[in-house]
A = this chain, B = another copy of it.
Amino acid sequence: MKTHTLLMPLDMHLHLRDGVMLENIAPLSAYSFSGAIIMPNLVPPVTTKEDVIAYKERIMAAVPNDYFEPYMTLFYQNYDKDFLVDVAEEITAIKLYPAGITTNSEGGVSSFDIEEMGPTLETMAELGIPLCVHGETDGFVMDREAEFMGIYEELAKSFPNLKIIMEHITTKEAVAMLDKYENLYATITVHHLLITLDDVVGGMMQPHLFCKPIAKRPEDLDALLSVALDAHPKVMFGGDSAPHPQHKKESCGCAAGVFTAPIALQLLCEIFEQFDKLDNLQAFVSDNAQSIYGICPEFKEVVLEKRPFVVPENYAGVVPIYAGETLNWAIESVE
């Protein structure tokens, strides 16, 4: 039977939430990934060294072994230098949200005033702390990411020594930025390599495919696939797996977020095999991230096997993408 081995898979954008949800969900990522960048948009957000340490401890208590590294992040605010120097060893990145743009982002940045943000961003550059950005304006839903490109350009030019990660990119405009500025990088989710807006609202309305940024047009999907499948050295897998309880997804006014963590590697194998690019998957799910972030994850070997795998209807009450459907790849072993 055909197999494919991945070493030290990394999920460079993960929501683990907190409390019971954390306890239910964290083991699923810890099983198949060596580590993950942990999003700080809790309620209230993670903004102090104590928050970071305590959240990391809660995550480690929730995972069944030591073979998973939660790469912690702070919720972006304008922080002073002393604080950043003190917190630096506890975090891998700082995540910036425009205020109110997605789940639990109310305390984010409400205007991109480069002068005001300057001291924080300069210090981050000095300390080698990357800035992860949720890059959307509050404009029309299909234009929000493309409209944000001007802000990426201003940040990239103003802070040339700061590593800026364009998180969960969804457009050809964002893809084009990768080769325009040396210090711009990107994560791409697995669902944005699979769906367009058509899958969300083109037939019936599909709440389990509803996320922010929303899936865009076919030409955007093509652009994302081109850099992911070629494992462009500036792109990394970041799942943005975002669990919500089933009732919050299947109701009037459903919450944004697609739950993918437990089947991300299986889906990625399927996509990369379909385009005859399986050899590039290792770079996309681990090597590129190691280079960009300068991290050395613990050893983990995940062997996937090409055989039918039926996606569970839910994981502890959270409905995953493609629930009940059959994928072509399954996880055979993890060591």
A residues sitting closer than 8 Å to B (CB atoms) are: 140-142, 196-198, 200-202, 204-208, 210, 214, 217-218, 249-256
Given A142-B217, A217-B142, do A201 and B200 touch, yes or no (CB 8 Å)?
Answer: yes
- A80 CB to nearest B CB, Å: 34
Q: For A206, give its contact among B142, B202, B252 (CB under 8 Å).
A: B252
Q: From A255, which residue of chain B is reached at the shortest CB distance?
A: B204
Given A201-B210, A205-B207, do A218 and B140 touch, yes or no (CB 8 Å)?
Answer: yes
Q: Inside 8 A of A207's CB, which chain B residues have their CB?
A: 205, 207, 252, 254
Q: For A141, give its contact among B198, B210, B250, B252 (CB under 8 Å).
A: B198
Q: From A196, which residue of chain B is reached at the shortest CB distance?
A: B140
Query: A273 CA to B29 CA in the complex, in Å?
Result: 55
Query: A259 CA to B138 CA in the complex, in Å?
Result: 28
Q: For A140, give its contact among B141, B202, B255 (CB under 8 Å).
A: B202
Contact sample, A vs B, 14 pairs, CB 8 Å cutoff: A140-B197, A140-B202, A140-B218, A141-B197, A141-B198, A142-B142, A142-B197, A204-B255, A205-B205, A205-B207, A205-B256, A207-B207, A207-B254, A250-B251
Q: Inside 8 A of A251's CB, which chain B residues have their CB?
A: 250
Q: For A253, give its contact among B140, B205, B218, B254 (CB under 8 Å).
A: B205
Query: A254 CA to B196 CA in the complex, in Å?
Result: 18
- A109 CB to nearest B CB, Å: 19
Q: Inside 8 A of A200's CB, which chain B residues have their CB?
A: 201
Query: A284 CA to B185 CA in the complex, in Å?
Result: 52
Given A205-B205, A210-B205, do A198 and B253 touch, yes or no (CB 8 Å)?
Answer: no
Query: A208 CA to B252 CA in the complex, in Å?
Result: 8
Query: A200 CA to B254 CA in the complex, in Å?
Result: 11
